[in-house]
Each structure stands twice: as C-alpha cells, then as structure tokens.
Amino acid sequence: MPDARDHPARRAENARHPGGTGDRAESGAGRAEGAGRPRDPSIDAAVLTATLIALTEHGYTHLSLEDVARRAGTTKPAIRRRWAGRQQLVLAALGSRLGAVDGPDSGCTLCDLDESLKVFVAAFQRLPPDVLGPLLADCASDDTLREQFMTTLFDPPRQAVARTLERARARGDLRPDADLGLVLDLLGALIHYRVLFGHARTGDLELERAVETLLEGIAVDYPALLEHSASVTGAASLHGLHT
C-alpha cells in the first residue's frame, strides 16, 4: 500500500512548511485548520495578547495585522483564517480582556446598584483607551459587525446591571410599573457617552448621583432603602449623597 506521506499533495505541503516550523498557526499535527484537525489554541491566545498590546501602544486606527502577526510569532494568513478582518480580531481581543462581568447580590438595592454601575465602568476601564470610538465607527455600517460590537462589549455589563434591577424589583424595592429596559438605557447612555467621548469624569461620585436620581424616581420607598443601606454597610457616610 502506498505511503500516504508520499502523496503529491502531502509533499507539496511539506515543501511549503519544511521542518514544520515556518508558520506556527498552521504547521504541526493537530494545528492546521481543515481536514478535521483542530487549530492550535495557543496561537489564538498569542494573537489576542499581541492585539491588546498593539492597541495599547498604537490605538485602533494604526493597528495592522502584519504587526500583530509579528508580535504573535505567526503570519497574517494564519490570523485571517481565524478572524475575517481587523474588526473581528479586535472585538475578540477586547472581549477576552473584558472577561466575565457580574454585579453583587447583597440584598441591599442601593448598595448593589452602586456597585453594579461601578462594575459597568470598570469593565470599560479594562479596555485600551481610544479604541471604542474608532472601532464603533468602523463597525457601524455593517449590521453584523454592529451587532457583534454590542454583544461582545456592551451587553455583558448591561446584563449585570439588569440582573441587579430585576432582583431589586423581585424584593419589592422597585415600582412594578418601572420600565427596566428604559432604566438600563438611561444608565447605559450615561456610561457609554462618557466612555466614548471622554469629555466628563465617571467616578464613584458621579455614579452615586446617578443612583440617587434613578431610585428617587422608581423606588417604592426610597427612605427605606437608605435606612437599609446604612444598616447593611454599618456606615451611613458610605452613601452620604443619598441623604
């Protein structure tokens, strides 16, 4: 029986990758895509890490696949076999940096909403600066890319705040007729607008003011929430803005 290794196609493949070291992304058994073989996850990780470093150093506008490939020790074709373009690659890299996002569940609506908004802001602070605006502009004209942008970057922190609001309503702390979708958009608009344009600070003080304004409108008994917060934290000054 002929040796499969002597097949012309295999000889051509070996000629393209002598010694199996020319292209980290595609060489070696079990590393190439196609023919049912899994791709090497270490290459994915190296490319995502290289992308984040390049974004931090040069921003989104000047990011090139050639530079990312060089940093990751692979090739531009290997990157394109994994991600269709620069937008998809950057979204994957930012999503890996964002990680899991969740808010607290202490049973204190005031405390939890404060902390959930801080988690929301902290999620975006983990991303390289000056990237979200240009990336959004680059994705805006394509429905699929725009949806991927929202799903990858905006939905996880938004859903963390949504869970906090839903738990608060289940406890009876929020009015049953409160439109939580609208509330989420109001809170998200504050954070997204300031993150994208960077024109105003979004620190703890600003977030606590936002919580105050929000809960005064949708809480069943706002003074009772203040009292509960003080009893849970043991320090009334923690939420001094809400008195």
> pLDDT tens-digit profile of 2-38?
444 444 444 444 444 443 433 444 433 333 344 445 7
Nearest CA among 146, 154, 109 for reference residue 127? 154
Evaluate if residue 240 carries a pLDDT over 90. no
- Check if the beta carbon of residue 233 is closer than 8 Å to that of residue 239: yes
pLDDT at position 191: 85
pTM: 0.73
Q: What's the rounded Cα separation, in Å, for the pair 45 and 97?
A: 11
Per the document, the length of the chain is: 243
174: helix, strand or coil: strand
Which CATH code fits 100-242? 1.10.357.10
Burial class (CB in 10 A: 0-12, 13-18, 19+), 39: middle
Q: What's the rounded Cα separation, in Å, for the pair 88 and 53?
A: 16
Its CATH class, for the domain covering 4-96, is mainly alpha
The whole-number average pLDDT for the span 87-97 is: 97
Q: Per-residue DSSP letters for 185-221? A: HHHHHHHHHHHHH--S---HHHHHHHHHHHHHHHBS-
Residues 6+ apart with CB under 8 A from 106: 112, 232
Q: What values do phi and psi take at 76, rounded to 5?
A: -60, -45
The whole-number average pLDDT for the span 59-78 is: 96
pLDDT at position 179: 94
The whole-number average pLDDT for the span 200-226 is: 85
The whole-number average pLDDT for the span 185-193 is: 86
- Check if the beta carbon of residue 99 is closer than 8 Å to that of residue 72: no
Output the 3-class SS for 79-125.
HHHHCCCHHHHHHHHHHHHHCCCCCCCCCCHHHHHHHHHHHHHHHHH
Beta bridge partners of 219: 174
- Which of 22-31, 94-103, 138-147 has the highest mean predicted lDDT (pLDDT)? 138-147
Domain boundaries, the chain: 4-96, 100-242
Q: Which of 107-116, 156-165, 214-223, 227-236 has the lowest mean pLDDT?
A: 227-236
Provide the CB-side half-sphere exposure for 109 (13 A, CA): 29
Provide the CB-side half-sphere exposure for 46 (13 A, CA): 17
Beta bridge partners of 174: 219
The whole-number average pLDDT for the span 126-136 is: 88
Would you state the torsion angle of the CA atoms of residues 161, 233, 240, 201, taken in this order, to the nearest 10 degrees?
A: -40
> Which letter, b or e, does each residue of 72-83 get, where b requires 16 or more Cβ atoms within 10 Å of its Cβ?
bebbeebbbbbb
Q: What's the rounded Cα separation, in Å, for the pair 125 and 54?
A: 17
More confident residue, 6 or 223: 223
Is 100-242 in the same CATH topology as 4-96?
no
